[in-house]
Amino acid sequence: DQQVKQNSPSLSVQEGRISILNCDYTNSMFDYFLWYKKYPAEGPTFLISISSIKDKNEDGRFTVFLNKSAKHLSLHIVPSQPGDSAVYFCAAKSLIYSGGSNYKLTFGKGTLLTVNP
């Protein structure tokens, strides 16, 4: 039962164009969403996040959109640069146990973004 889904294993875009990475989730208890970027042989690094009470968060070239009714979020990168080529993971935060106070992150399988010069 995959609660966070990234249905596109890979995406290829031209430098300067927009990259749109998508993520769907099934658990309505998720209250915070994060995007991580991962280069080969490195650990994931935090990129941008959004609370479930918002529908948009922007940080420079990166914008995350959240559509709660559709249980969908997307990461937009504009303009895309070759250095953005990496695997992008969508993650969602939720309580580990209902009624508790401890949280965990559930990750999608990742999308490999390739930005071509």
- Binding of residue 60 to other proteins (CB under 8 A): no
Tell me the one-letter amino acid at 94. S
Bridging pattern class, strands 72-77 and 111-116 = unpaired
Residue recorded with tokens 């504009």: 78
- Binding of residue 46 to other proteins (CB under 8 A): yes
CA distance 11 to 6: 11
How many binding residues for other proteins (CB under 8 A)? 25
CB-wise, 69 or 101, nearer to other proteins?
A: 101
Residues 67 to 96 in contact with other proteins, rule: CB under 8 A: 89, 93, 96
CA distances (Å), origin 114, targets 73, 85, 104: 20, 5, 29
Q: Which of 21, 34, 64, 77 contacts other proteins by CB under 8 A?
A: 34
- Binding of residue 53 to other proteins (CB under 8 A): no
- The C-alpha R_g of the chain, in whole angstroms, comes to 14
- As measured in angstroms, the least distance from the Cβ of 14 to other proteins is 26
CB-wise, 27 or 116, nearer to other proteins?
A: 27
Terminal CA-to-CA distance of the chain, rounded, Å?
A: 38
Residues near other proteins (CB under 8 A) are 4, 6, 9, 32, 34, 36, 41-46, 49, 89, 93, 96, 102-110
